[in-house]
């Protein structure tokens, strides 16, 4: 039991220490996918989109009551948003985001996507997206969430709880996506 607990704790610390950083360079891809769950994600995805990092933008997991016009106003979207941004309303979780993105990417014949989500959410997102679309290339663009301080996470009980919850979800995703491949 002690060895299992130690392995779990070491795995958690490793998980947190290996969370990806936001890249310095703006990647180029066919499309950009932003997962809802925080305003920072949408703002950064929109900024990448306006800089021409992708031909189209998909915001996946949008609440049914949110219109495209409302979202455009909230994130201060630019001119390209009207013609080339799509809202996905079907996803309710990360696996749903991956399935929704799969249909969108295939309908546009996209092969290379920038994935925008929170740093702590990126490992699980990449796992789910790669499992749903093994033939596509994903360029991670993790963003910091304003309320989550990853610099000294061990000093913030709320951050520890959030990271621990995400670690458990990542482990579950690891198991389910591995089983789906066999």
Q: Is the dihedral of CA 26, 32, 34, 40 positive or negative?
A: positive
Q: Is the dihedral of CA 124, 130, 17, 139 positive or negative?
A: negative
Residue 49 falls inside a structural domain: yes
Residue 160 falls inside a structural domain: no
What are the pLDDT digits (tens) for 151-165?
777 777 888 898 999
- CATH at 95: 3.40.50.620
Residue 182 has pLDDT above 60, yes or no: no
Residue 26 falls inside a structural domain: no
Residue 87 falls inside a structural domain: yes
Domain span at residue 72 reads: 31-146
The model carries a pTM of: 0.92
Residue 42 falls inside a structural domain: yes
What are the pLDDT digits (tens) for 101-139?
999 999 999 999 999 999 999 999 999 999 999 999 999
Residue 123 falls inside a structural domain: yes
Residue 20 falls inside a structural domain: no
**What is the C-alpha separation between 134 and 113, in angstroms, rounded?**
12
Count of domains in the chain? 1
Q: What is the pLDDT of residue 48?
A: 95
∠ CA 178-16-28, nearest 5°, is: 75
Q: Which of 43, 49, 116 is nearest to 82 (CA)?
A: 49
Residue 8 falls inside a structural domain: no
What are the pLDDT digits (tens) for 34-43?
999 877 899 9
């Amino acid at each position: 039991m002690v060895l299992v607990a130690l392995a779990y704790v070491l795995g958690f610390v490793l998980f947190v220490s290996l969370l990806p950083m936001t890249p310095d360079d703006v990647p180029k891809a066919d499309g950009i996918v932003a997962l809802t769950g925080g305003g920072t994600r949408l703002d950064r995805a929109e900024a990448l989109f306006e800089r021409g990092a992708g031909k189209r933008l998909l915001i996946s997991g949008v609440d049914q009551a949110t219109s495209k016009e409302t979202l455009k106003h909230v994130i201060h979207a630019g001119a390209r948003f009207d013609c080339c941004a799509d809202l996905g309303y079907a996803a309710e979780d990360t696996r749903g985001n991956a399935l929704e993105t799969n249909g969108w990417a295939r309908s546009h014949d996209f092969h290379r996507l920038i994935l925008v989500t929170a740093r702590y959410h990126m490992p699980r997102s990449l796992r789910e997206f790669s499992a749903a679309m093994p033939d596509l290339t994903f360029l991670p663009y993790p963003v910091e969430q304003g309320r989550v301080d990853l610099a000294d996470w061990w000093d913030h009980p709320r951050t520890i709880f959030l990271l621990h919850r995400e670690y458990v979800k990542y482990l579950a995703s690891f198991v389910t996506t591995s089983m789906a491949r066999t």
